[in-house]
Structure 1
Amino acid sequence: MQKIMEEIRRKSPDKELPAIVRPADELAFLLPSPQGKTTASLARWGFQLPSQKLVYNARQETVLTKDFFGNCFPNGRCIVPAHSFYEWDKDHHCFGFSLGDKKLLYFAALYRKQGDGWEVVILTTHSKGTVEEVHHRMPLILGERELRPWLYDAAAAKLLLSQGIISLKKEIVEG
């Protein structure tokens, strides 16, 4: 994550990203280049609809069939790196999920150009393991070996939509 943030600081020295990213905030993301070198950039989390509504997640089970996302999947796959993500249970308790040891999670995502910048939606899947106890959806998490295929190989990316899940640590977040 440090290398990613260094690249973003070089490109956008005036930008300061929030510690906890919420929909409509800017976030770091990784995108493919025609030369095969993955680059880092900033994007707003969410696709803005003409109605001004913000769509910030896309369901992995319908992303290929929804016209709204269909144009993004072939050429707009990206990755959102993060140390953790948060979900709230029905009693409004916040839980953080991570790999522990400050290891990065890699969320499968889609991006598109909007005005002078980028917009990103994160793909979600049915929750499993520790997340299932808290919420019915979670980000689609890619393993390190799956990053390049997700970015550069459309056929492999389609297969990754139905992949398994890795084990996550759950912690209650106070306050």
Structure 2
Amino acid sequence: MCGRYVLYTDKEQAEIREIIEEVNKKHNFQVKKGDIYPSQKAPVFKGTPDHNGKYLDVMNWGYEVSFKKGLLINAKSETVLEKRTFSKDFKERRCLIPAQAFYEWDQEKNKIMFYSGNDLIYLGGIFRQHEDKEEYVILTKEPIKIVEEVHNRMPVIIPKNLAENWLYDTNDAIGIMGNNYVELEREEV
């Protein structure tokens, strides 16, 4: 389960800085430095109506649902097409969540950060319109070895060169979820 991720820190790189500046201008929204928690608003890329490129928006992390107290913040990629809550969103509304890192906690409750050098990563997600706001969840999958040592799940990570395939082609998105494209490093925080 991915319960927290880092959008940017004081060491943010140029790509993250551009995202922050665009969100602040376009949406009159001040992006929070550091960790992004469930229920918070955060920048998210979604597809454009003409299926050309990606559009930066601001959404709330987590689906509000009547059958569960609290928010649904993750969806298992292996069953996303089978679940009524997520299936249509996966087929029609996939998104990219920009991040510098994500966290998992080990058995002793130590917080471990996973990142790809200084590179921006995209976490794969889906979104929906709920009442007066858009909400997103992060898709998770079986972990790669470095994450498996800490936790039994990890976010789906979408390579930059496959970002538009993820947004616009459902068959490609299914294939992307099943592969491991990104090498990660880890650090205890």
> For the superposition of Structure 1 and Structure 2, which TM-score range results when normalised by the shorter chain?
over 0.9
**1:69 matched residue in structure 2:** 86
RMSD between aligned alpha carbons?
Answer: 1.4
Secondary structure of the residue aligned to 1:135 is coil
2:184 counterpart of 1:130: no
Distance verdict in 2 for CA 1:164–1:128, change over 3 Å: same
Secondary structure of the residue aligned to 2:36 is coil
**2:38 matched residue in structure 1:** 23
**1:4 matched residue in structure 2:** 19
Secondary structure of the residue aligned to 2:186 is strand
Superposition map of 1:20-99 within 5 A: 20-35=35-50, 36-51=52-67, 52-99=69-116
**CA distance in structure 1 between the partners assigned to 2:131 and 2:84 by the alignment:** 21
2:130 counterpart of 1:117: no
**CA distance in structure 2 between the partners assigned to 1:14 and 1:62 by the alignment:** 34
**CA distance in structure 1 between the partners assigned to 2:92 and 2:155 by the alignment:** 20
**CA distance in structure 1 between the partners assigned to 2:106 and 2:179 by the alignment:** 25
- Contact kept, 8 Å, 2:121 with 2:157, in 1: the verdict is yes
- Contact kept, 8 Å, 1:31 with 1:78, in 2: the verdict is yes
Q: Structure 1: state its 5+ residue gaps.
A: none
- Contact kept, 8 Å, 1:128 with 1:165, in 2: the verdict is no
AA of the residue aligned to 1:11: K
- Contact kept, 8 Å, 2:97 with 2:122, in 1: the verdict is yes
Q: Structure 2: state its 5+ residue gaps.
A: 1-15
Moved over 6 A (4+): none
**CA distance in structure 2 between the partners assigned to 1:95 and 1:37 by the alignment:** 33
**2:11 matched residue in structure 1:** none
- Contact kept, 8 Å, 1:129 with 1:167, in 2: the verdict is no
Matched residue count: 172
Equivalent pairs: percent with the same residue? Answer: 32
Distance verdict in 2 for CA 1:117–1:93, change over 3 Å: same
Secondary structure of the residue aligned to 1:156 is helix
**CA distance in structure 2 between the partners assigned to 1:153 and 1:2 by the alignment:** 28
**CA distance in structure 2 between the partners assigned to 1:128 and 1:66 by the alignment:** 24
**1:147 matched residue in structure 2:** 163
CA displacement 1:56-75 (0-9 Å, x = unmatched): 00101000111110110111
Cα deviation, residue 13, structure 1: 2.4
Distance verdict in 2 for CA 1:142–1:16, change over 3 Å: closer
CA displacement 1:90-129 (0-9 Å, x = unmatched): 10111111011x2111111001112332100000011112
TM-score, normalised with respect to structure 1: 0.92
TM-score, normalised with respect to structure 2: 0.86
